[in-house]
Amino acid sequence: MRPDLHVLARPARPERPGAGQRNQQGAHAFEHSGAGLPLIAARRAAARALLCLLALAFAPVGLPASAARSAASAPIAAVAVGVDDGDSFVARKQDGAKIRVRIAGIDAPEKSQPWAALARQRLRGLLVGREVRIKPLKTDPWGRYVAVIEVDGEDPALAMILNGLAWHFARYDRDLPPPLRPRYAQAEAQARERRAGLWQAPDPEPPWDFRKRNPR
């Protein structure tokens, strides 16, 4: 047999006992040493990237949160077609759909309270049959838009407060654009001073207290 063939045919030498264990210990030592840290960090970053890609792949399709907020607050042009009470009304949009609107920043007397009928009548005169610019702020538990409204550049909510037919609903000031908060508060102070509308009574009951006494 040729010497080179004899070398090729020679059986592999058995691994010495404990060699595999030493190799594993060496690998662990490498991972926990400074030399292994970049490799470990790279593997973890790759795993996080893969998880993000999978989350995006299976996420529901929809508008981004910023776009959804913009859509929710976009002004609506509609014609008022009816009034529920002194602070809410029904309007018809340009596509014919009807929406219900709760005017932000004011609270008018409830239907069984004094001045409720006059407040409703006054709001009807301000709104019905006219185009209303509605700026939604949120929706209430009854599905109505809570909104700031304008008619021909005028603020019907401010008119209701000045005429003593609604309270400034200060409890929800945080919903209002900041410039309206002091404006509504000042309007109520003026109505009180002039004893306009419901302020003719010495101590009119606010509708929120009335609702608390008479839960639905």
Pure H helices in 103-206: 116-127, 156-162, 180-194
Length of the chain: 216
Residues with catalytic function: 102, 110, 144
User: What confidence score (pLDDT) does residue 50 get?
Assistant: 59
Pure H helices in 106-155: 116-127
Domain segments of the chain as ranges: 17-58, 69-213
CATH tag for 69-213 (out of 3.40.50.20, 2.40.50.90, 1.20.1250.20, 3.10.105.10): 2.40.50.90
Residues 165, 119: contact at Cβ < 8 Å? yes
One digit per residue, pLDDT tens: the chain, 216 residues? 333 333 333 444 544 554 445 445 444 444 444 444 455 555 666 666 555 444 444 433 333 434 334 445 799 999 999 999 999 999 999 999 999 999 999 999 999 999 999 999 999 999 999 999 999 999 999 999 999 999 999 999 999 999 999 999 999 999 999 999 999 999 999 999 999 999 999 999 999 999 999 998
Burial status of residue 123 (CB atoms within 10 A of its CB: 0-12, 13-18, 19 or more): buried
User: What confidence score (pLDDT) does residue 162 get?
Assistant: 98
Task: Tell me how far apart the alpha carbons of residues 97 and 143 are, in angstroms, rounded to a whole number.
Answer: 14
Pair of tokens at residue 175 = 């919903």
Containing 106, the helix (H) or strand (E) segment is strand 106-107
User: What confidence score (pLDDT) does residue 216 get?
Assistant: 80
